[in-house]
Amino acid sequence: MRPLLQPLMLSCKKAAELTDKSSVVKLSRLERLKLRMHNKACAVCNAYTKHSLLMDRAFEEIVNPSKQQKLELSGAVKKRIVDALN
Partner 1 sequence: MSNTQSSANTTLTLWVEEYGDEMYSWAFYKTSNKEIAEDLVQDTFTSAFKAFERFKKDSNPKTWLFTILNNKIIDYYRSKASQKHITETELNAQSNVDGMFNDLETWSSLPQMEWQDEEHLLDNQEFLKVFKACIDNLPEKWRAVTIAKFFDYKKGKAISKELGITSSNLWQIVHRSKLHLKKCLDTNWTPEQ
**Residue ranges that bind partner 1, judged by CB under 8 A:** 1-3, 11-14, 16-17, 20-21, 23-25, 43-44, 47-48, 51-52, 54-65, 68, 70-73, 77-78, 80-82, 84-86
Give dist(CA 52, CA 23) in Å, integer.
9
User: At its nearest, how many Å lie between partner 1 and the CB of residue 49?
Assistant: 11
* Identity of the residue, 33 or 62, whose beta carbon is nearer to partner 1 in the bound complex: 62
Distance, CA of 80 to chain centre:
36
Closest CA to 52 of 11, 1, 15, 26: 15
